[in-house]
Amino acid sequence: MMPEKNPGSASEARLFISFVAGLAILAAIGGWLVVAKSGLHSKPPGIAPDRPRTMVGFILTNQSGGSVAKVDLDGKFLVVDFLLTSCSLTCREVNRHLAEIQRLTANQPDIRLVSLTVDPREDTVAMLADYGHRIGADPARWLLLTGDKTILYHLISSSFFNQDLDDPFSYMPGNFSHTDRMALVDPQGRVRVYFDGLRDDVATNVVDTIQGLRKESL
């Protein structure tokens, strides 16, 4: 005569198997995150421009309503990022790192931070003033610039990034590529290197690179 199966034992076995499978999935996800994180930091901190690029002339308006021209920034190191105040994820993270650069370079008067909006219709002076206040931008050192769309788009496409006008699914106004990067411009107006603005170590990488470029001119 066959012994009766214990329903409780079968349920416990299924529960144990599900528990073990869940642990295996969590371990796999954790391992992937560790590998992805280490892979990110194993990449070189700087990204070379696709071609020699020099910052073109412009006249735009900052978050205080003042006029800013390229000549006002000549002779400075510029850390430039690309702003969309309605962006709640990547843009916020990039600007958090830019705020860290502002803190690290507080006593370095030859550095300016520049945020160029890609959406000048929405990012008005008033909008940039409010946004700048929220992210802790010092108007004397960190310029949030808006203005005529034609001038802005010519500045960005000529000096920094190409427009992918054939991409109908781009969420970024102007269809600019790589707007999660920061660009480092030297005192002669040359774009020297880009940085991944989402990296945890981007602020220290930018500051260290500027220090290295200073030594070039000694």
Span 124-130, average pLDDT: 97
Residue linked to tokens 């205080």 = 64
pLDDT band at 215, cuts 50/70/90? confident
Share of the chain above pLDDT 70, in %: 73
Q: Which two tokens stand for residue 148?
A: 């005529």
Please give the CATH superfamily to which domain 48-216 belongs: Glutaredoxin (3.40.30.10)
Phi, psi (degrees; rounded to nearest 5) at 4: -70, 140
Residue 178: DSSP 8-state: -
Q: Summarize pLDDT for 52-82 with one digit per residue, the tens.
A: 999 999 999 999 999 999 999 999 999 999 9
pLDDT band at 19, cuts 50/70/90? low
pLDDT band at 1, cuts 50/70/90? very low
